[in-house]
């Protein structure tokens, strides 16, 4: 890679981060301006529909995948722990790993595939067909009109999905402990409640809010910056998924390091 290519890549990265940061600021400012007691501009019908799409429709697949992940975690943990005669620690392994890490992360990846790509495709199509320009002509800010309902819906539904994913993952681990150890569901849940701390659950919920913010911002940003017609929409959708997963992993690393250093 030549020096010129490195320079172009650096400039593109800085421009991307800068544009995403500006959009983030506008979106958050628009959310704080909402006031339902004095005629808020939030499109409540659209927001509720987005909640149904982002949350309710995603609930079955989130619970199914999280349940399987919990079962896999129990199987993999038992494979090593049985060497030391410590199979009983599978319960704590599944509970802590699901609530602190795998529940929020798996939920975010699923929502990226379902909703993040849909956000980019929807807004990208509106950009190509000049509907976004039409909104500006009518003195409607596209961020307020298009992004804010999705952002509010995501901030409400992501913690709910993570709680459902945590529950499904823990129950997935219960299937293994019942089959291998003969442990009843009541005993399993009792041990899990003793092992889990409130901060474990709160950690996952805080991560879910950050992940939801990233998914909405990246999906909408790619949609607003589509170029090149239908092919551009496809490229923006793909880029939104890739960038969202990358940024979610980076955010997960930063949050995990922060909680390890300052809240452990």
pLDDT tens readout for residues 90-146: 888 899 999 999 999 999 999 999 999 999 999 999 999 888 889 888 888 888 888
User: Do residues 142 and 135 make contact, with C-beta atoms less than 8 angstroms apart?
Assistant: yes
Q: How do the domains of the chain map onto residue ranges?
A: 43-262
In this prediction, what percent of the chain has a pLDDT beyond 90? Answer: 49
- Its pTM stands at 0.91
Rounded distance between C-alpha atoms, residue 169 and residue 62, angstroms: 10
Rounded distance between C-alpha atoms, residue 177 and residue 188, angstroms: 8
* DSSP output for 166-200: HHHHHHHHHHHHHHHH---HHHHHHHHHHH--HHH
pLDDT of 1 > 70? The answer is no
pLDDT of 10 > 70? The answer is yes
pLDDT of 37 > 60? The answer is no
pLDDT tens readout for residues 187-217: 888 888 888 888 889 999 999 999 999 999 9
Structure tokens belonging to residue 52 = 């149904």
């Amino acid at each position: 890679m030549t020096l010129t290519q490195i320079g172009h890549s650096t400039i593109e990265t800085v421009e991307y981060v800068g544009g995403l940061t500006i959009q983030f600021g506008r979106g958050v400012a628009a959310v704080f301006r909402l006031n339902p007691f004095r005629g808020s501009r939030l499109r409540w019908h659209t927001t509720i529909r987005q909640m149904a799409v982002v949350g309710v429709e995603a609930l079955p697949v989130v619970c199914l995948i999280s349940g399987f992940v919990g079962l896999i975690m129990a199987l993999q943990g038992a494979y090593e722990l049985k060497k030391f005669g410590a199979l009983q620690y599978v319960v704590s392994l599944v509970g802590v790993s699901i609530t602190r890490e795998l529940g929020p992360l798996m939920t975010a990846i699923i929502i990226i595939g379902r909703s993040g790509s849909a956000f980019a495709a929807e807004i990208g199509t509106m950009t190509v067909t000049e509907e976004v320009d039409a909104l500006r002509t009518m003195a409607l800010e596209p961020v307020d009109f298009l992004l804010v309902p999705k952002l509010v819906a995501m901030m409400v539904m992501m913690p709910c999905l993570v709680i459902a994913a945590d529950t499904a993952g823990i129950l997935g681990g219960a299937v293994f402990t019942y089959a291998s150890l003969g442990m009843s569901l009541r005993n399993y849940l009792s041990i899990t409640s003793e092992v889990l701390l409130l901060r474990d659950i709160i950690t996952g919920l805080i991560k879910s809010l950050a992940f939801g913010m990233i998914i909405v911002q990246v999906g909408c940003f790619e949609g607003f910056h589509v170029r090149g017609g239908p092919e551009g929409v496809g490229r923006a959708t793909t880029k939104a998924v890739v960038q969202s997963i990358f940024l979610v992993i980076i955010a997960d690393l930063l949050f995990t390091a922060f909680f390890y250093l300052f809240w452990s």
